[in-house]
Amino acid sequence: MKKQLLLTGLLATVLQLSAVENNGITIIDKNSPDFLLGKQTHINMKFTPYDAPDMWFKAGIRVQGSFENLNTKKYNTDGTVKSNTTIQDAYLRRVRLEVAAGFGKHTSFAMDIRNDKANKGINNDEGNFNVGDAYLKIKKPFNTSLVNFKLYRAKIDISRTETVKSARVIVYDRPYVADAAAQYISFNRRASNVQMYGNYKHKIAYQIASGAASSPDKIVDATGSKATADGVTLTDQSFFIGGKVVLSPFDGWEEKKRTETYFGKGKHFSIGAAYWIVPTLKGKNANGSSFNLSRKLTNLEISAHYKGLFFQSEYFKFDDMVKDWTALNIETGTSTGWYATSEYVTPELSYIAPFVRYEKWNRFDDANGYEVTSKLAGINWYLRGNTTKVGFVYQEDNYGINTGNKDVTSLRVTSQWFF
């Protein structure tokens, strides 16, 4: 009898340990290539209780650091040099504490607390921690990939590179025109909203959303000046509304995950288009001039990769761009810009990957001197995929007479760690 009880107890222990092993703690991406420091990890460690396998908890950190040499040459209106300064800086580009919880088969919540650009600049400011993502996801409530929902602080797809997680982008600092798009419709492209999204066999994917619009502190004119800094007062503002559609037209080239880093595996080709609008934005500037804007954003994207080669390009058009918040009479027009980026990963050289990017943005199409041009080249070394990587970036930026009238050159050594 004692032996039977002992065997029964041992069997129960083995079953419990087996359940823990199968449903317990996971972090390694089993589909990852073998990098110099091992396989890439998933973003965040996942804990799954063996007695409730539909529930889970995720936690992790992400750190991106930069050492930078920044030279800024400003010009007078006659083209002579006004000033020439160099700053050597070290800062934390992104610092994130990320958590998520699954409540069951269909529902989960994800959020992060962040302090980005800590110690950046000559003042060496610490910055403040704030909430980034904070959304409730309802996945396949009708058991189809065509219908999913997100509520609260979740990204709207105003741009492919802005939608890709910063842990998976090639360059930590995204194109200027894309960052402008991130603020043009909704604060940091994730002010509280409700969205529906889905895909059909990864051949066609969509997102539609509506929610809180831009923050006054992020509404800038064509010169880059903030509305709040120029004494602008907003009186009326509506919800934003819009959506995006992405197509993968070729069989076997479907895009199954939004990323810029593929590590020489597989292939994809996709094209997409988005249209977003804030129908009403009313107010007055410091001179008492009234404005009634209907801010619209059009985005077109194309991306592809084949084994080690990756290419991505996007076009943006901003309607009702304000030329100058301080003018006696508010003048509006269009702003257009585009960028193209490419990377080539060499698995045979321990996943060293050179990359380039070119950007052209006219911040106000109806006048001269509002151009911004950026050229960038560098190299990433994926020591453990995106989990651990280091890089070097050289960047040249040229600003028109009305967007700063300056040339900026930077050299950056970058690194990323996440767990």
Q: How many domains does the chain have?
A: 1
Question: Under a CB-based contact definition with an 8 Å cutoff, are residues 328 and 357 in contact?
Answer: no
Sign for the CA dihedral angle at 229, 189, 29, 247 comes to negative
Per-residue model confidence (pLDDT) at position 307? 95
Chain-centre distance for alpha carbon 417: 17
Which single residue is written with the structure tokens 């603020």?
183
Q: Which of 174, 193, 242, 186 is nearest to 219 (CA)?
A: 186
- Token readout for 160 is 């492919």
DSSP E strands in 122-221: the ranges are: 130-138, 148-153, 193-200, 204-211
Q: Residue 241: give the domain boundaries.
A: 2-418
List all residues 6 or more positions away from 67 whose beta carbon is below 8 Å from its beta carbon. Answer: 89, 90, 412, 413
Contact 141, 151 (CB under 8 A): no
- Looking up residue 51, the CATH number of its domain turns out to be 2.40.160.10
User: Measured between alpha carbons, how far is 89 from 35 in angstroms, rounded to an integer?
Assistant: 30
Beta bridge partners of 333: 321
Task: Tell me the CA end-to-end span of the chain in Å, nearest whole number.
Answer: 49
C-alpha to C-alpha distance for 226 and 37, rounded to whole angstroms: 45
Query: Could you tell me the CA-to-CA distances from 193 to 6, 134, 200, 218, 385 in Å, in that order?
Result: 57, 11, 24, 18, 33
Res 22: pLDDT: 54
**pLDDT averaged over consecutive 10-residue blocks of the chain (419 residues)?**
45 44 80 95 93 93 96 93 95 95 95 90 80 96 96 97 97 97 95 97 97 90 87 91 97 94 96 97 89 96 97 98 91 97 97 98 96 98 98 97 96 96
